């Protein structure tokens, strides 16, 4: 049940008060102006996981605009699409979706099979579509981004940064506002199947209106979260959290901080996504699988189901000490922001055959 706004605000403000900045890429910004309200390690290289699907969707929007495909076109499922691991819709070879259904499945359900369907429909093959993804990334100024697949499934060469993701998210919202409702959908239906979003903030955070989550063992739990209040929209990029719960709390705390502290001083803020100095000492990509609270990743033995997750081992000793204090935060405020721990698992509310399986926690959400 949705808790009161005051309870949620109390919880996230307490989180901010007792918890120092996370030791993973984090960015809070205003998409309309590009102004940065908070930034940490935004040029460090990271695995995007299913945040890759922002680029897949962006190119599909572009293809619709150019008349290459249309929302009501039916696109078929191929054998390569069926071979993608979860999260997926689970169509059989030859079955079809409309482009509109496909986009919603990619954005809401994070369907790995459907990204391949879209790629083949637009470019003829996934390989050609990936070339277009990389060409587009360069055109958009995403200097630390490289794609080797359309969905973010684990691969050493699938790379990005918080700044690049923020740049892409901002461009999507400004160039294609007509698809804003897709990013805000808590669930979608294909026939009798209900496919739910992994973005916990859509149902728990006041003003939340998108965008996308991502998870693999190596990347940890990622999210680009958007919220609007009093006609002001803010976005947070959070990468590498240890659980869906921590990801949701961290993103909510950043957004709440932004809304509570946005004042006249921002008129003089000249730091934007484009102007903020590039970190010449940005860190190469790392794996956080030993810190992740998920079966199959290596870190699950150090976490207990339903408990408050301790800070990652890579954080400083002061972080660990303060994190213990945060355990005293109201349970209702933290649970209100709780996200799914096993992204990629089948939806319990779906009906009919959906060829998904319990997630091994090595695939994109």
* DSSP result, 85-113: PSS---PPTT-EEEHHHHHHIIIII--HH
Q: How far apart are CA 14 and CA 11, in angstroms?
A: 5
CA dihedral 245, 246, 252, 257 (to 10 degrees): 160
Point out the residues that are catalytic. Answer: 50, 53, 110
Look at the block and give the residue holding tokens 């000492």: 281
* DSSP result, 189-253: EETTEEEE-S-THHHHSTTEEEEEEEEETTTEEEEEEEEEETTEEEEEEEEEESSHHHHHHHHHH
Which one, of 346, 296, 298, 292, lies nearest residue 86 by Cα?
A: 346
**Strands 187-190 vs 26-29: parallel, antiparallel or unpaired:** unpaired
């Amino acid at each position: 049940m949705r808790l009161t706004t005051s309870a949620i605000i109390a919880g996230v403000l307490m989180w901010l008060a007792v918890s120092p900045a996370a030791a993973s890429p984090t960015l809070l910004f205003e998409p309309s102006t590009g102004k940065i309200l908070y930034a940490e390690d935004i040029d460090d290289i990271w695995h995007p996981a299913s945040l890759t699907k922002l680029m897949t969707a962006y190119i599909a929007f572009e293809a619709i605009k150019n008349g290459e495909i249309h929302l009501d076109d039916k696109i078929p499922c191929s054998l390569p699409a069926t071979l993608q691991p979860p999260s997926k819709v689970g169509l059989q070879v030859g079955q079809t979706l409309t482009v509109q259904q496909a986009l919603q499945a990619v954005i809401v359900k994070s369907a790995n099979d459907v990204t391949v369907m879209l790629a083949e429909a637009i470019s003829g093959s996934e390989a050609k579509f990936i070339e277009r993804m990389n060409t587009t990334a360069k055109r958009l100024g995403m200097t630390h981004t490289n794609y080797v697949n359309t969905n973010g499934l684990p691969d050493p060469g699938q790379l990005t940064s918080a700044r690049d993701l923020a740049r892409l998210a901002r461009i999507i919202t400004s160039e294609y506002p007509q698809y804003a409702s897709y990013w805000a959908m808590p669930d979608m239906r294909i026939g009798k199947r209900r496919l739910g979003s992994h973005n916990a903030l859509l149902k728990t955070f006041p003003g939340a209106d998108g965008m996308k989550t991502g998870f693999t063992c190596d990347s940890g739990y990622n999210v680009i979260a958007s919220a609007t209040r009093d006609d002001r929209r803010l976005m947070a990029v959070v990468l590498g959290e240890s659980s869906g719960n921590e990801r949701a709390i961290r993103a909510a705390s950043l957004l709440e901080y932004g809304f509570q502290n946005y004042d006249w001083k921002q008129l003089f803020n000249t730091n934007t996504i484009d102007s903020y100095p590039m970190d010449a000492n940005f860190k190469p990509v790392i794996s956080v699988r030993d810190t992740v609270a998920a079966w199959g990743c290596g870190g699950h033995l150090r976490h207990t189901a339903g408990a408050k997750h301790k800070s990652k081992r890579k954080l400083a000793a002061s972080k660990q000490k303060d994190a213990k204090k945060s355990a005293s935060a109201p349970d209702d405020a933290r649970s209100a922001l709780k996200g799914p721990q096993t992204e990629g698992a089948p939806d319990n509310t779906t009906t009919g055959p959906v060829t998904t399986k319990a997630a091994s926690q090595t695939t994109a959400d």
